Amino acid sequence: MALTLKMLDGVCHLNKCHWQNGFLFRPLLEGCNPRWYSSYRRPGMPPDKMPPWKRIDFSFQKGVEGIKTHFERFKKEIVDHVKGPEGRPLKQYMAEQTRVFWEFRSEEDLNKWIISSDVEIGGKSEIYLELGKNNQSAVLSGTLNTDVPRDGETRYSGYCSMKSKPHLVAFDRKKHYDWSNFNSLYLRVRGDGRPWMLNICTDPYFSHNKNDLYHYFMFTRGGPYWEEIKIPFSKFLFSSQGRIQDQQHALWLDKISTLGFTLTDKVNGPFQLEIDFIGLIMDRAHSEECAYELYERNPKKPKK
């Protein structure tokens, strides 16, 4: 077994094959670090002398159970597809006006999100996600620190973020959300007066669009009272690789991948954001498709 895994290790390094990401191998290989095939190593980290195949915990029983679970999910997908969109009758799906998409009532709800900060690049910011009082909300708290790490490469620091995990279906296939029946994002939050940036990532048609994002700011007023915030999707700004593009277009509501919150207001100190739920609404009074002027990239010059 050790010789077989060692040979697979060599083949993966030669062919850059991420075989451990497959749904058939993943349940069998518990405890395997998915980053072992990467050649990137942060400055100052000691070299890892343990071979990657020695860190693998092979479990045949867990593999069989995992494969059964995936086939059960696939069966449910087929049944839901026959019933209608998202497993509901078409009439009910088309008449829906509101929907609570994310709520925070248990640890399982918190596990649907990922938190990160500038610690990944050597920064000093801290962020925590936990359930609120009586398990009726999620509390996102921590400390923002804009000190730039002394690595000679990083120029800016000081950010904390929270991002939803991609929606996975049977065999770990990514499936995007369809929000085309709604035109506004609806949140019930309680903040400390800091501005947060909302980020929506769509499932790109091409690989070079993977860094495309849609942004809009959420301003919290602070204080002990909850506030309900409604943000039309037409207000979101289109950006690529962190730069707002001159050529704007409406958000692709039928290919939503993830939603995230980012704090980067360059103010050192503690922060706190409490979230009750994140929902969607259809505001019939709002008919705007895109709030920004659409310029042509290469406008034609008028003829003399």
Q: Clarify whether residues 221 and 109 are in a common domain.
A: yes
User: Is residue 17 a part of any domain in this protein?
Assistant: yes
Q: How far is CA 86 from CA 13, 113, 200, in A?
A: 40, 21, 21
Q: Clarify whether residues 101 and 197 are in a common domain.
A: yes
Q: Clarify whether residues 54 and 112 are in a common domain.
A: no
Q: Clarify whether residues 34 and 136 are in a common domain.
A: no
User: Is residue 242 a part of any domain in this protein?
Assistant: yes
User: Is residue 304 a part of any domain in this protein?
Assistant: no
Q: Clarify whether residues 123 and 195 are in a common domain.
A: yes
Q: Clarify whether residues 198 and 130 are in a common domain.
A: yes
User: Is residue 69 a part of any domain in this protein?
Assistant: no
Q: Clarify whether residues 222 and 123 are in a common domain.
A: yes
pLDDT digits (tens, 9 = 90+) for 174-214: 888 889 889 999 999 999 999 999 999 988 777 677 788 99
- How many percent of the chain have pLDDT more than 70? 78
User: Is residue 177 a part of any domain in this protein?
Assistant: yes
User: Is residue 169 a part of any domain in this protein?
Assistant: yes
| Helix, strand or coil, per DSSP, at residue 270 | strand
User: Is residue 27 a part of any domain in this protein?
Assistant: yes
Number of domains in the chain: 2
**pTM for this predicted structure:** 0.74
| CB within 8 Å of 269: residues ≥ 6 apart | 143, 144
User: Is residue 298 a part of any domain in this protein?
Assistant: no
Q: Clarify whether residues 103 and 244 are in a common domain.
A: yes
Domain that holds residue 177: 96-281
Instruction: At 261, list the tokens.
Output: 């919150």
Residue 304's pLDDT is: 57
pLDDT digits (tens, 9 = 90+) for 105-132: 999 999 999 999 998 888 899 999 999 9
